[in-house]
Amino acid sequence: MPPASPDLRAADLAEFRRLIEQALDDLADLRDVMAWDSGMAGGPASFLDPLEDALHDLRQRASADDYPFGGDELPFMDIVRKTPTSLLPCKHVLLRIDETHRRGPRGADAPPP
């Protein structure tokens, strides 16, 4: 039997919020680096703007204590899938955010005692 995949989800809403902040910080750093490297074809805004916009919206929605976990994947996941990790080093954080959004925090699906 193959080993189980690690559970990428945040432990709770507070960690989910920290992941969103981490992703926004990482994208700001990436924007600075890409702006410095003027040789980037298409410029950083080609995929950073929609990512940052979606994360700002998600941060606003996650500020409520009753964030509605579950449902479809987040709208930025097409960008995440299409962008190589070499251009999007925080890809793993964005995957954790989406996994938590879709399935809820770890333990949320545990059966009641």
Torsion angle, CA of 45/47/48/54, rounded to 10 degrees? 120
Interaxial angle between packed helices 13-36 and 45-62, expressed in degrees from 0 to 180 and rounded to the nearest 10: 160
Locate 60 and state its tokens. Answer: 């606003």
Is the Cβ–Cβ distance between 73 and 94 less than 8 Å?
Answer: no
Question: Which pTM was predicted?
Answer: 0.85
110 against 18, higher pLDDT: 18
pLDDT at 112: 44
Instruction: Single out the residue of 110, 112, 98, 88 nearest to residue 8, CA to CA.
Output: 98
Residue with tokens 């709208």: 75
Residues 33-61: pLDDT tens digits? 887 766 555 555 688 999 999 999 999 99
Res 4 pLDDT > 60: no
pLDDT, one tens digit per residue, over 86-110 is 889 999 999 999 999 999 999 766 4
3-state secondary structure of 58: helix
